[in-house]
Amino acid sequence: MKPLPPAYGWIDDLRPLPLMLQEGSKLYGTFEVMGPANNPAIMGWAKESELSRTFTADSIPWCGLFMAVVARRAGKSVVEGPLWARNWAKFGKPADRAQLGDILVFRRGQGSGHVGLYVGEDYGAFHVLGGNQSDGVTITRIVRDRCIAIRRPAYRKAPVSAKPVQLAANGVLSTNEA
């Protein structure tokens, strides 16, 4: 497990973390293999998530695969057709305001999308832990107006850390999460 960037190191100190964020942060720093080879870890997620028949290379967009493996490891249901990012808009329950560990679904291009986990926000962007962000599991700032759904996992009792988080507007804004 690679440590989170210093600006997000506080996540490692929060306990209890929402389970999906806890599982997702364990995967931080996993990257695609450039060229025709595949990262065995990412391909293992496809097998673990029972998606290896359709996910055959890490060059295929894999933000939905990241969410599927995170949800499974956290004991949550996986949406039907999880490789399509916009299908995650059917996960859990809708929420009006994002909080730590929520799933955010974004529009990207004509009809495509991106999905990741909320780790915070600033005045103009959400800070998102997700897969296939610059070809890896990273934390990226994504403009708020691209968000089309905020979805909350079902909790018996929400962890006290599951709340909105205000962060500094540091870092580049993502325009394409591929």
Give average pLDDT by consecutive 10-residue segment, the chain, 178 residues. Answer: 90 93 98 94 98 96 98 97 98 97 94 96 97 96 97 93 93 83
Q: Would you tell me how many other CB atoms lie within 10 Å of the CB of residue 5?
A: 14
- 0.75 cut: is pTM over it? yes
Angle at 71 between CA 135 and CA 98, to 5 degrees: 80
Tell which phi-psi region holds residue 21, choosing left (phi > 0), alpha (psi between -120 and 50) or beta.
Answer: alpha
User: Which amino acid appears at position 155 of this protein?
Assistant: Y
Q: What is the pLDDT of residue 170?
A: 84
Domain-wise residue ranges, the chain:
6-174
Q: Residue 67 phi/psi, 5° resolution?
A: -65, -40
Task: Say whether 24 sits in a helix, a strand or coil.
Answer: helix
- Domain 6-174: give its CATH code: 3.90.1720.10
Q: How far apart are the first and last CA of the chain?
A: 22
